[in-house]
């Protein structure tokens, strides 16, 4: 009888280990299908100019999704990302107009992102306010503050050196792509080779067990929102540098793109599981979908519908998989 009971546990352990080690497989399949399908459907899809365009668009999604993935791994969510992107972009553009100092604009933007992330994290972890409610409030606060600063008027960036961040290249590789690759490498290092990464996953898997094991659950939960805020600030800098202007409406629904990329990449909305490589692939899938809508002359009105469908399918698959795992345990 003991051997029979042990078999499912061994199978479960193997299954979970495989999923934890290779969460990116959930994004690899749709990525391959999209690339192959669109290559057949449109001759321009695999041209150098179009691939570069996809990667440039994916850069902002990747950086934001990296921050979102860390939040989701703890079982939280950050709905303020899109509004914060607009806010940090306006801060950067405004400072560039006033001082023409690129270091000051970048540092100030990152500090604003970190401060908003810290506020989210402290309220969620210490006051036990649900992440959905707290970040929803911050979403409106950031968007409102951006409108107050700009008076709904775009702020143009004239500094050509700053614009290089969004439109320049090094050895033929676009700077935004280099930035998102560096951000992904740092994220992978944190998740795989630091105690913080292990603690984040532990908090998402079982908060109480992690606390009893000596993990500072509140501090680690706060960390992920700070990470998210900093990542959004970096994404905002790239966004403004690429467009050459900051506006109050920037980043609308981008938080949903980040969620879609993260979930597609194998990060569980229930917490405790996730990966960086999968998140990068998921963000590229989102960018490809946007690109395909333009190439195939599909109405942009369908874009949000497609994104919503992608999130729904990915979440259903994740929840069903976890339900099967729980059933095996029982």
Q: How far apart are CA 89 and CA 181, in angstroms?
A: 21
| Residue 324 within a domain | yes
| Residue 36 within a domain | no
| Residue 30 within a domain | no
Nearest-5° angle of CA 254, CA 255, CA 259?
A: 115
Mean pLDDT taken over the chain? 86
Residue-level length of the chain: 330
pLDDT on residue 23 = 62
| Residue 161 within a domain | yes
How does DSSP classify residue 152? Answer: T
Look at residues 265, 317, 314, 261 and name the one whose alpha carbon lies nearest to residue 289.
261
Query: Which pLDDT band holds residue 7 (cuts at 50, 70, 90)?
Result: very low
| Residue 16 within a domain | no
| Residue 28 within a domain | no
| Residue 127 within a domain | yes
Query: Which pLDDT band holds residue 322 (cuts at 50, 70, 90)?
Result: low
Tokens of 127: 């006051």
Report how far Cα 289 is from the mean position of its chain's Cα atoms: 16
pLDDT at position 8 over 60: no
- Range with the lowest mean pLDDT among 91-105, 129-143, 300-314? 300-314
The CATH number covering residue 220 comes to 1.10.3470
Q: What are the pLDDT digits (tens) for 272-307?
A: 888 899 899 989 998 998 888 888 887 777 777 877
pLDDT on residue 4 = 41
Q: How far apart are CA 167 and CA 238, in angstroms?
A: 9
Q: How far apart are CA 217 and CA 199, in angstroms?
A: 8
| Residue 119 within a domain | yes
pLDDT at position 330 over 60: no
Report how far Cα 326 is from the mean position of its chain's Cα atoms: 28
pLDDT on residue 1 = 41
Q: Which domain holds residue 210?
A: 45-329
How many structural domains is the chain composed of? Answer: 1
The answer to whether residues 161 and 253 touch, using CB atoms and an 8 Å cutoff, is no
The answer to whether residues 265 and 27 touch, using CB atoms and an 8 Å cutoff, is yes
Q: How far apart are CA 304 and CA 35, in angstroms?
A: 20
Look at residues 99, 222, 113 and name the one whose alpha carbon lies nearest to residue 162.
99
CA-based end-to-end distance of the chain? 15
Per-position DSSP letters for 13-74, written without gaps between them: HHHHHHHHH-TTHHHHHHHHHHHHHHHHH-TTTTSHHHHHHHHHHHHHHHHHHHHHHHHHHT
Beta bridge partners of 173: 170
């Amino acid at each position: 009888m003991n051997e029979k009971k042990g078999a499912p546990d061994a199978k479960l352990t193997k299954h979970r280990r495989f999923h934890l080690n290779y969460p990116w497989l959930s994004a690899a399949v749709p990525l391959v299908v999209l690339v192959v399908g669109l290559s057949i459907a449109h001759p321009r899809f695999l041209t150098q100019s179009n691939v570069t365009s996809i990667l440039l668009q994916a850069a902002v999604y990747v950086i934001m999704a990296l921050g979102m993935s860390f939040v989701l791994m703890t079982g939280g969510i950050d709905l303020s990302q899109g509004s914060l992107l607009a806010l940090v972009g306006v801060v950067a553009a405004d400072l560039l107009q006033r001082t023409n100092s690129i270091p000051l604009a970048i540092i100030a933007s990152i500090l604003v992102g970190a401060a908003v992330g810290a506020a989210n994290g402290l309220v969620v972890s210490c006051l036990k306010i649900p992440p959905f409610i707290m970040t929803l409030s911050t979403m409106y606060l950031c968007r409102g503050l951006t409108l107050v600063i700009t008076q709904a008027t775009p702020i143009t960036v004239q500094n050509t050196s700053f614009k290089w961040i969004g439109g320049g290249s090094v050895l033929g590789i676009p700077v935004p792509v280099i930035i998102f690759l560096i951000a992904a490498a740092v994220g992978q290092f944190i998740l795989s080779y630091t105690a913080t990464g292990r603690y984040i996953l532990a908090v998402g898997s079982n908060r109480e067990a992690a606390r009893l094991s000596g993990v500072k659950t509140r501090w680690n939960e706060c960390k992920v929102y700070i990470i998210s805020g900093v990542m959004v600030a970096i994404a905002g800098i790239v966004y403004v540098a690429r467009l050459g202007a900051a506006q109050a409406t920037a980043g609308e629904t981008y938080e949903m793109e980040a969620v879609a990329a993260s979930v597609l990449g194998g990060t569980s909305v229930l917490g405790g599981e996730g990966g960086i490589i999968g998140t990068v692939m998921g963000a590229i899938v989102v960018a490809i979908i946007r690109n395909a809508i333009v190439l195939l002359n599909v109405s942009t009105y369908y874009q949000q519908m497609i994104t919503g469908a992608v999130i729904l399918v990915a979440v259903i698959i994740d929840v069903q998989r976890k339900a099967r795992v729980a059933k095996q345990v029982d």
